[in-house]
Structure 1
């Protein structure tokens, strides 16, 4: 890790006067973060309601999975397009249009009564909501001087990390008390508030419709197809047995070919729709790699823990929510202090501290046992919740420091895309790992617990004796005893598989720490003009 900083442009020098931040600017930033919060919340909030939605729509589990997948596919496609489209149509008009559509299609999701309509409504909701995420970060970077970026990024951090933490809890509570349609109606009031804030406070920027005429349409097409197929591959792969499914194999091949073509095109064309050359910047490239691991460590456990509590301990949605909320609440208290610490300490040290806390939170979960249920997860959840703001806020600041104002839109889009892709890789990876490790441990324990093992025979005989005294016939008691032993083996195998998953998440976050080692020191507390 170097201690010297590269020379920043003259505009970033300490002699540049601090630009005053008006109340109007802060209102815009708060409004933008509210929009991002809504969009990110809707990724996770339906997870606790899927069973109820599937029941209403008459959909199978595999069919119902597309209610979430369609949202994620549309979102990942539009994120890299958002900066270019906002310049083409004008930032204010583009944000307002998509916010209104997001609210409308949220309501349509609530009244959908067949699966096809729901999937279509969710896809449009994801497309319009996906715009709000990178443009919120872009507005923060543009409206605030560099010295205020940590504060703005802390506010954005609440959207990006607090929303997925509380999504399943909030969705489960709303569904239990009001019904699943209100999970979607929840967007109405904040959506109206966002439209009012953007309409009154955000200045109008001129549309550059000529960008559409000379647009990099081949690059856009290949990027959209590639990202859409990649997201489908990741979301549906585990349910369809990965490479055992022709459909999943086709998605993988199309994704690889399309993304390779998009990469070549974007690096060769004169006016790319997104500036991939930002990855030539050392800090941005390594911060994006670290951000990929953060996405996996954020979204993967958010998927894994409810599955564990449900399968191993039989928790319902409300009980799961009571555990998951502890990953969200502490962030609200920690976030405000991180910008202050960024003025006093090297951002890389803060990131390392955050990663250490996150890894420790995973390590506490290892190994799991039959007694490790909801209450035992509270402390690991709190430890990870404390660590996450120390990763997210400084890492975002390091990634975007020194980037030219004209490229901030692309930087925000790419950076947010890496986090979302990391989340998709994390969820897909943990689903596959859980299945494979459960098979491995079942086989290993099964071989150790041979039917000819004296210890196993004694266990079965004890169970048979107990069951016979309760009224079962000898033959039935023997069958029940074997079934009980088989269940115990599978449960122990599941516990070991879940432990392996938490261990892998610790490794993944540690690898993110290696990327942080490659970051160069950046200056904080200085400002540069964004307009």
Structure 2
């Protein structure tokens, strides 16, 4: 449980700034697009350390890695809470991601190292209910703290929690097994190549839209270098006597299919969590706390499913859970395809519930079949790879979504602008809203009817174009839920089902 709550602390901290960008923008005196670097820095640092955490836990022990990682996370949280400098904030967020990222695979390793296979279903249910569902609670917690206290409390709350976990870990965590001989067999080439390739990939994804993608020589250069370093890394790890990451784990068919499914999971979870707050903030104009509350419905549904998922896993097996979970996610996502500017909590409630229940079933079922046949000696390596692929899947899908959201909004804006009837009722209603916004500013000149109509058409086109873009992206990602179902016949059956 100590390691589980360390994992929760890390997951919430990554997502916590998602609903409070505008408050942070004002506090740090930067542009809104610069604030996104706070999440990017966290993600980049986290992705770099995750693949090495399995090797580090074997080298210095799970206990020591947990204590070191949590100590670094504590110091980084203090830095984030008390700095007023944007660049220092980004640096401390990167430190948070690097030290917190080391904690992520430890939880998955401990499930399979400490418990026998009969106990694993209930442990998976507990960890998924408390741990992974916290992905959806980050924005809610951040929004509430920002509105009720201040943005600094998004980081200050980490301090007492981390201190308590450090004390408990120091006295009660008894996972001291280590392999000092690994220090004499460090695969420096593998470490450098993997870290370089991951950083280049994330830089390409984060900066691509800003630099107009392959029109920029920087993006072309980073993309080519990323591909080269990835190929060199794979060659190195497949031929090295003591690879930093044993890629032979992918010879395990269930694990390979599980990794494909976890990419799908990342797309189905992270993309809506990314788009929904943007829609609620930009279109509905609601505050961080309300945004967080709406997003957290999925997390609450996930948690509510927890007490039953282990029973279902024992009774039906992992493959059946994947099937049911994908069907529920498909239905819930399809429900969100036709959102309008009037959609609020009531309209989004049931789609979020279905997606939350389905996500719990898909996650537990997939992790169960993916790790079932992994030998004990390969657990830490497999857990690191599993988490790395989840994070990369989420990062790539969000970056691609951002690109298409921007491009499709422009396209649909053009369609709508050309088809708006200047005498339509909706345009008149929008004009009246605009007039109402400025009625308390008598120093402003009166708008002519023609100018009001043009301004209303512009606002209406931008808003509806944005909504149509979201709906089309949602429709596209809905079909990802079919992929795990198609792969089910290829999964090797576990002994229970």
TM-score (normalizing by structure 2): 0.92
Q: Is the 8 A contact 2:252 2:373 kept in 1?
A: no
Give 1:99 deviation, angstroms: 1.2
Structure 2 match to 1:102: 73
Give 1:39 deviation, angstroms: 0.8
Q: C-alpha separation between the residues in 2 aligned to 1:346 and 1:97?
A: 37
Secondary structure at the aligned position of 1:314 is classed as coil
Matches within 5 A, 1:159-238: 159-238=130-209
Q: C-alpha separation between the residues in 1 aligned to 2:355 and 2:408?
A: 24
Larger radius of gyration: 1
Classify 1:369/1:197 alpha carbon distance in 2 versus 1 (closer, same or farther; 3 Å).
Answer: same
**Among residues 72, 76, 87, which one is paired with 2:58 in the alignment?**
87
Secondary structure at the aligned position of 1:343 is classed as helix
Matches within 5 A, 1:506-525: 506-524=478-496
Give 1:447 deviation, angstroms: 4.2
Classify 1:216/1:461 alpha carbon distance in 2 versus 1 (closer, same or farther; 3 Å).
Answer: closer
Deviations 1:216-244 (A, max 9, x none): 11011110111122122223333443334
**Among residues 401, 405, 409, which one is paired with 2:376 in the alignment?**
405
Give 1:279 deviation, angstroms: 1.1
Q: Is the 8 A contact 1:287 1:515 kept in 2?
A: no
Q: C-alpha separation between the residues in 1 aligned to 2:93 and 2:453?
A: 48
Give 1:510 deviation, angstroms: 2.0
1:138 lines up with 2:109 in the alignment: yes
1:317 lines up with 2:288 in the alignment: yes
Matches within 5 A, 1:486-497: 486-497=458-469
Deviations 1:365-413 (A, max 9, x none): 1222232233211111111111111001111010001211110001101
1:77 lines up with 2:48 in the alignment: yes
Secondary structure at the aligned position of 2:374 is classed as coil
- Higher RCO (Cα < 8 Å, 6 or more apart): 1
Q: C-alpha separation between the residues in 2 aligned to 1:481 and 1:448?
A: 14
Q: C-alpha separation between the residues in 2 aligned to 1:461 and 1:157?
A: 46
Give 1:315 deviation, angstroms: 1.3
Matches within 5 A, 1:418-433: 418-433=389-404
User: Gaps spanning 5+ residues in structure 1: where?
Assistant: 1-29, 450-455, 526-531
Matches within 5 A, 1:67-466: 67-449=38-420, 456=421, 458-459=423-424, 463=428
Secondary structure at the aligned position of 1:147 is classed as coil
Q: Is the 8 A contact 1:138 1:408 kept in 2?
A: yes
Deviations 1:467-503 (A, max 9, x none): 8x99999992112112222322332222211111111
Q: Is the 8 A contact 1:309 1:374 kept in 2?
A: no
Q: C-alpha separation between the residues in 2 aligned to 1:474 and 1:129?
A: 55
Question: Which region of structure 1 is more displaced relative to structure 2, 371-380 or 509-518?
Answer: 509-518
Q: C-alpha separation between the residues in 1 aligned to 2:285 and 2:165?
A: 39
Deviations 1:406-432 (A, max 9, x none): 100011011111111111122112211
Structure 2 match to 1:17: none
Q: Is the 8 A contact 2:8 2:132 kept in 1?
A: no
Q: C-alpha separation between the residues in 2 aligned to 1:462 and 1:251?
A: 46
User: Gaps spanning 5+ residues in structure 2: where?
Assistant: none
Q: Is the 8 A contact 2:427 2:460 kept in 1?
A: no
Q: Is the 8 A contact 2:319 2:365 kept in 1?
A: yes
Q: C-alpha separation between the residues in 1 aligned to 2:117 and 2:493?
A: 15
Classify 1:463/1:447 alpha carbon distance in 2 versus 1 (closer, same or farther; 3 Å).
Answer: closer
Classify 1:487/1:60 alpha carbon distance in 2 versus 1 (closer, same or farther; 3 Å).
Answer: closer
CA RMSD of aligned residues (A): 2.5
Q: Is the 8 A contact 1:62 1:239 kept in 2?
A: no
Q: C-alpha separation between the residues in 2 aligned to 1:156 and 1:474?
A: 60
Q: C-alpha separation between the residues in 2 aligned to 1:460 and 1:395?
A: 50
Q: Is the 8 A contact 2:19 2:292 kept in 1?
A: no
Q: C-alpha separation between the residues in 1 aligned to 2:334 and 2:274?
A: 18
Q: Is the 8 A contact 2:19 2:291 kept in 1?
A: no
Q: C-alpha separation between the residues in 2 aligned to 1:60 and 1:390?
A: 40
Give 1:273 deviation, angstroms: 1.1
**Among residues 476, 487, 492, which one is paired with 1:504 in the alignment?**
476
Deviations 1:441-480 (A, max 9, x none): 223334445xxxxxx254399959x98x999999921121
**Among residues 445, 457, 469, which one is paired with 1:485 in the alignment?**
457
Q: C-alpha separation between the residues in 1 aligned to 2:97 and 2:275?
A: 23
TM-score (normalizing by structure 1): 0.86
Deviations 1:312-356 (A, max 9, x none): 111111221221121111222201211111111131111111011
Aligned residues between the structures: 488
Q: Is the 8 A contact 1:109 1:118 kept in 2?
A: yes
